[in-house]
Structure 1
């Protein structure tokens, strides 16, 4: 009786282990393919920007991509291009640009960006108070 119970437990354990192993392999493969696609997109966006195409959306995507990868030097470059096109941006872009500038040692420029963010926040707050 003990041998039969041991036999069933062993079979169930092996079946569940094999099922979990297959799922994890699929997950790892899926993650790797996403990473490669993400890198190709960044390179494509850079080639488009190098050819002279300028767009707020393009510079946002490039800056965000490098910011999320902690490449603050390149992120600051693209955020600089973004702010050259438009200053009517969401507050998160001011904050991220200032952080990038702080990380690369441009403290004065970072303080200027933060000051612009404060001014923008004040204007938004005044509009809300008027309503």
Structure 2
């Protein structure tokens, strides 16, 4: 019994750093560092109207964002589709008929799935 109380007390005393959803963090946090090239690509995508449709709870969306890194990610046009997210734009996602995440909108065309930076460059005409 004593061991159980000590374990419970330790659990309550030390917060779990990975429990962001328990703290109503309804968005994911990109942690990787960007490269100069990924920042240039992100700015190009934004300037050319490319949009990433995403959901904070989607692991593929996080993987896609980590490919860019946190500095480049902040440059992208990202539409959050999850109803309970902090920056929800669910109606726009419904209107666009988004079926899964991530979805990229490039020149009016919807492309579902994680795309490499090289694939995004090719699809958008980005020249490094």
TM over 0.5, shorter chain: no
Bigger CA radius of gyration:
1
Give the TM-score normalised by the residue count of structure 2.
0.26
More strand by share: 2
Q: TM-score, normalised by structure 1?
A: 0.26
Higher helix residue share: 1
